[in-house]
């Protein structure tokens, strides 16, 4: 990562325009699918947040969010973090974590105590970032959240999503911020609710009573989408069935270890 890389919040239409370009470069979004600059302007002017990462004068990533009010689920006003886009040349360098920790500090300075965002349950890198490096928890599975988008990275795959909840004051979150690794997990002692057998979803078990369970996902969803859409779809349906049912019964996703979600019954 370049030493000239720096982060700052964005405010003007001129600088927010770069968010359109990054969406196209990151997700292969066509013009109709791009979230337009006027949305980001309206969001910022209504208490929202847009953060840019710059290599010199060139914006290479952005993260945005807007106020969220969920009185039946959360206390007070939070932030819903909508999109995070990082150009390919700047991935796998810890930039995503830097953006999210900046967002946390921005929220805490404004007495905002929680952040939510959605992510694809089949994207292993995102699961690892969110659960292992940021310390989120997940208790909600959303089926085909954005509809079938077509094109871009998802193709015709249903856009199922997990809703991440980031309690900004939680001990596990502060430990992640301080670089304290989460406790090791002995996977052999945790029953399997969904297994990966030769790269395929298998051995679904929806009736396990154990407090902890594990749920496998594919190693690389993007490769599957490019080479074997039917298998990607099979994974989508299997994970939907397993996580959807267990989360509805009071389980939470608390870890992501060796390509496997760890879920716990919190009821």
3-state helix/strand/coil string of 207-256:
CCCCCEEEEECCCCHHHHHHHCHHHHHHHHHHHHHHHHHHHHCCEEEEEE
Note the pLDDT tens digit of each residue in 123-139.
Answer: 999 999 999 999 999 99
Residue 112 has pLDDT above 90, yes or no: yes
- Cβ distance 99 to 61 under 8 Å? yes
Q: Residues 86, 89, 92, 97: what is their CA dihedral angle, to the nearest 10 degrees?
A: -30
Distance (Å, whole) CA 216 – CA 256: 10
- Cβ distance 27 to 46 under 8 Å? no
Q: To the nearest whole percent, how much of the chain has pLDDT over 90? A: 88
Task: Compare 29 and 169 and report the one with higher pLDDT.
Answer: 169
What does the pLDDT read at residue 154?
73
What does the pLDDT read at residue 4?
73
Residue 1 has pLDDT above 60, yes or no: no
Residue 213 has pLDDT above 60, yes or no: yes
Contacts of 48 (CB under 8 A, 6+ apart): 40, 64, 65, 66, 67
Average pLDDT over residues 74-97: 94
What does the pLDDT read at residue 152?
64
Note the pLDDT tens digit of each residue in 5-20.
Answer: 999 999 999 999 999 9
Q: To the nearest whole percent, how much of the chain has pLDDT over 70? A: 98
Residue 59 has pLDDT above 60, yes or no: yes
The string of DSSP letters for 84-121 reads EEE-GGG-SSSHHHHHHHHHHHHHHTTT--EEEEEE-T
For the chain, the average pLDDT equals 95
Distance (Å, whole) CA 246 – CA 14: 46
Residue 87 has pLDDT above 80, yes or no: yes
What does the pLDDT read at residue 168?
98
What does the pLDDT read at residue 32?
73
Provide the pLDDT confidence category of residue 155 given band limits of 50, 70 and 90: confident
Q: Residues 21, 27, 33, 35: what is their CA dihedral angle, to the nearest 10 degrees?
A: -50
Provide the pLDDT confidence category of residue 241 given band limits of 50, 70 and 90: very high
Of 71, 179, 178, 66, give the one whose Cα is nearest residue 117: 66
């Amino acid at each position: 990562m370049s030493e000239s890389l720096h982060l700052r919040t964005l405010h003007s239409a001129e600088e927010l325009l770069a968010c359109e370009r990054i969406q196209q470069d990151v997700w292969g979004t066509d013009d109709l699918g791009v979230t337009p600059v006027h949305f980001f302007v309206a969001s910022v002017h209504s208490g929202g947040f847009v953060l840019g990462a710059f290599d010199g004068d060139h914006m290479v990533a952005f993260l945005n969010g807007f106020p969220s009010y969920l009185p039946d689920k959360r206390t007070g006003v939070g932030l819903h973090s909508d999109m995070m886009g990082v150009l390919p040349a700047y991935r796998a360098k810890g930039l995503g974590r830097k953006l999210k920790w900046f967002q946390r500090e921005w929220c805490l300075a404004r007495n905002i105590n929680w952040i939510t965002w959605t992510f694809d349950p089949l994207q292993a890198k995102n699961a690892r970032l969110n659960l292992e490096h940021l310390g989120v928890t997940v208790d909600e599975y959303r089926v085909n959240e954005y509809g079938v988008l077509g094109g871009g990275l998802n193709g015709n795959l249903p856009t199922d999503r997990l809703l991440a909840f980031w309690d900004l004051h939680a001990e596990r979150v502060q430990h992640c911020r301080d670089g304290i690794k989460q406790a090791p997990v002995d996977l052999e002692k945790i029953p399997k609710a969904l297994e990966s057998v030769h790269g395929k979803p298998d051995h679904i078990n929806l009736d396990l009573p154990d407090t902890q369970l594990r749920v496998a996902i594919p190693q690389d969803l993007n490769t599957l989408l490019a080479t074997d859409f039917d298998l990607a779809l099979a994974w989508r349906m299997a994970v939907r069935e397993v996580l959807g049912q267990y989360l509805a019964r009071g389980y939470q996703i608390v870890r992501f270890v060796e390509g496997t979600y760890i879920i716990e019954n919190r009821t």
